[in-house]
Structure formats: C-alpha cells, structure tokens
Amino acid sequence: MKKFRIKDLFLKYPLLDKWRVLGLAGIFKYGITVYDLSYRVMAIIPEASQAYIRASSANSAAANGLESLKPAIYAYFHGQMYVLLGLSPRNRMSLIASNSRDGEMIARAAEFMGYEVARGSRTHGGVKGAFNLINAAENNRSVLFPVDGPKGPFEVVKAEVIRLAQITKLPIIPVVSQARTRDLMKSWDRYNCPYLNTKMVYVFGEPIEVPADADDSAKENLRVDLQNYMVELKSKTSEFFQYVEGKN
C-alpha cells in the first residue's frame, strides 16, 4: 500500500481541487499584498525599451505617468513568474494561463493583481487563449508571455511568442529578474521563490521586432536569438547583488 504523505493533499486528489485552489489563491493574494507594500524594486531598462515599460510595485510612486507607455510583448521564463509582481501598469497588461488546475491558481492571483487573464495553453484551450491575446494587443494592451511554458523544456523558447509578435506587430521585450535571497524549487522550471521583503532587480532587454514578411527560417532564427539573449541576461543578472554589494 502506498504511503500517505501530507503534501499529497496539496498536489493530488481531484475532489479537493476546489478547496485547494481557494486556499492557494488566498495565500497568493496575501503574498501579493505584502509584496506591493514591502518589496524594494530595482530595474535596469535600456533606453530603447523605456517607451514601453516601467518596473514598480503597484503602490509605488514610480507608477505615475504610465498611461503614455506603448504596448509590447514581455517575454519571461516560467521559473521567474514573479516578474509579474514588478511590472506596471498592470491594468493595461494581459497574460495567458492554462485551463489546468495550476492555471486556475495563476489566473486568480493575476486577476487579483490587476492583470487581464486569457485562458488557454498548448494543451488546454490554446486556440482560444491565442485569440484572446491577439484581441488584447489590438486593444492597446501589453502581453506577458512565459516563453518556455507551460511545461518546458527548461528555458527553451517556444515558437508561439515569435508568431504572436508577427501577428500583433508588437515588439518583444525580454525580462529577467533576480531576488537577493530566494529558494530554488525542484520543479521542471526550477522556480525561484523570493524570500519575504527581499530586494529584487528586474533587467529588461532591447526590443525585438518580428517582420511581417518573415518566413519560417527567419522566425526560427529569431526564436534562437531570443532564447540566447534571455539566457545571457539571466546569467548576468544572477551576479547582480554579489557585484553591487561587493562594491559597497
């Protein structure tokens, strides 16, 4: 007989899904509220991307004057989903979440944060989710896209983000983040879980345009370029606090 484990209550048993989702969504909401009040956000934004984005918590004074920002597609790794916590203005941004159990929890937390959520992924309602993101872009909204989601491989950029950029004519802006203190989870995406009230830095890349007439070969080259660029940004960001604090 298989040994019962307490954590199975949180990971298995479909009959408990309703209560599990409610409980975890509540935890997420509390954590988000604490973040907006407490976390210290630093951002490195290249000049070419400053017309599109600001990084700040929702209650930060830095959130002023954001209505003039242009829409874009923000590409991030699934294991750094906490980048959503530091982007503004949330009320003009849309993200995709699958119709799975995990997607339901992500959707509830994101909606609490002020994001618009399009439901669907490759395996759960992908066509509907893609149309919702396209509609969001047509309504002058930015789109947040986990480039290696929903289930990997780890840090392998999927072709969907390139196709979305071509259809919507929005530039892709890579974003990576690093928390000064964090835990690395043993999941496929090696999720980074920031400690309470830790310092965080967001690093944005240069905008990447996908030409309307780009063929399959050109789009594949752009996909590989984006993947290499994001891995490079993440590698440099991982040393940020060590470098800065070593200078003090």
| Global confidence as pTM | 0.82
The full set of domain ranges for the chain reads: 40-237
CA dihedral over 120, 152, 142, 131, signed as positive or negative: negative
Residue 67: pLDDT band with limits 50, 70, 90: low
Residue 198: pLDDT band with limits 50, 70, 90: confident
Using CB atoms within 10 Å of the CB of residue 190, give its burial: 0 to 12 exposed, 13 to 18 middle, 19+ buried.
middle
Q: Which two tokens stand for residue 173?
A: 């802006």
**Per-residue pLDDT averaged across 38-51, rounded?**
81
The per-residue pLDDT for 58 is 46
The per-residue pLDDT for 64 is 47
Three-class SS state of 65: coil
Nearby residues of 31 by Cβ (< 8 Å), 6 or more positions away: none
Give the mean pLDDT of the chain.
80
For residues 169 and 72, what is the distance between their CA atoms, to the nearest angstrom? Answer: 9
Q: Which two tokens stand for residue 217?
A: 């070969």
Using CB atoms within 10 Å of the CB of residue 45, give its burial: 0 to 12 exposed, 13 to 18 middle, 19+ buried.
middle
Select the more confidently predicted residue: 220 or 59. 220
